[in-house]
Amino acid sequence: MKVGLFIPCYINQLYPQVAIATLELLEKLGQDVYYPEGQTCCGQPLGNSGYEENSKGACQIFVENFKEYDYIVGPSGSCIYHVKHHFDILEQTPEVIKVRDNAYELCEFIVKVLGKINLGASFPYKVGLHKSCHGLRGLKLGSCSEKMDAYYSIEENLLNQVIGLKLMILSRKDECCGFGGTFSVFEEAISVKMGKDRIKDHIDSHVEVITGADHSCLMHLEGLINRNKQPLKVMHIAEILNSCI
């Protein structure tokens, strides 16, 4: 079984430690992981801004890069969501369909495909989980607070197995952080306010480390935390699951 590692553009450039943790974690779980060269971007920023037409080239490159793998795994829910739900703008060749069907967000891959939840990690901190919207409501990584379905959370299941980790309860369990891609600059005032409110919820809940399965949300929150010098650390869930502290 060949796993193609999809590292979103901004993670490659700005958060290499997240990519490294993802790769190490998958290898630790016995996976045969390949990192295809020439990855650019899934096209999400363009699509979300209304420029889907201009993103076809990027989408096509994505399919070219990953068509030979059994699974495509990436540490970013929103990018995977984009591949699965918005690659309908491409001609639906067998290759495109295969890539869309086999693209997985990291946590989902570990739990659903590999069937594992205890990864032998330890991380002795109070952690707040930011449930990113595209992962939660789009990929259904967990039940949503709006719906009356039975409760579950793939990310919480994984974090609850981490030795020493204490998952803190937030007052708003799955409210959006306000990143929203280009929304973060085109609707700057609201985006910042939403981020501030999310952070306040984590601080009020005595969180030491905010984590999540989508680093774009975390980048936005980290930008606010650093600017306002708040006592919180931000880490991708892959980094925590790969920790042995």
Q: Which of residues 210-239 bind other proteins (CB under 8 A)?
A: 219-220, 222-224, 226-227
User: Which of these segments, 104-112, 121-129, 138-146, 158-166, binds other proteins (CB under 8 A)?
Assistant: 138-146
Q: How many CA atoms lie within 13 A of 221 on its CB side?
A: 29
Give yes or no for residue 20 binding other proteins (CB under 8 A).
Answer: yes
Which range, of 51-59, 162-170, 203-211, 236-244, touches other proteins by CB under 8 A?
51-59
Tell the residue number behind the tokens 């630790």, with chain if given: 28
Stretch that binds other proteins, among 99-107, 113-121, 122-130, 185-193 (CB under 8 A): 185-193
- Contact window for other proteins (CB under 8 A) among 15-23, 98-106, 107-115, 203-211: 15-23
Distances (CA, A) of 49 to 84, 135, 184, 188, 239: 18, 19, 11, 15, 30
User: At CB < 8 A and 24+ separation, what contacts does 135-138 make?
Assistant: 135/77, 135/78, 135/81, 135/105, 135/212, 135/213, 135/214, 136/77, 136/174, 137/174, 138/77, 138/78, 138/81, 138/85
41 forms part of the interface with other proteins (CB under 8 A):
yes
In 169-232 the beta strands, taken as DSSP E runs, fall at 209-212
Q: How far apart are the first and last CA of the chain?
A: 31
**Angle at Cα 193 formed by Cα 192 and Cα 195, nearest 5°?**
65
Residue 117 beta carbon to other proteins: minimum distance, rounded to whole angstroms: 26
Contact between 138 and other proteins (CB under 8 A)?
Answer: yes
- The correct pick among 3, 4, 6, 19 for binding other proteins (CB under 8 A) is 19
Q: Judged by CB, which is closer to other proteins: 158, or 177?
A: 177
**Which 91-130 residues touch other proteins, going by CB under 8 A?**
none
Site map (CB under 8 A) of other proteins, residues 56-75, x = contact? xxx-xx--------------
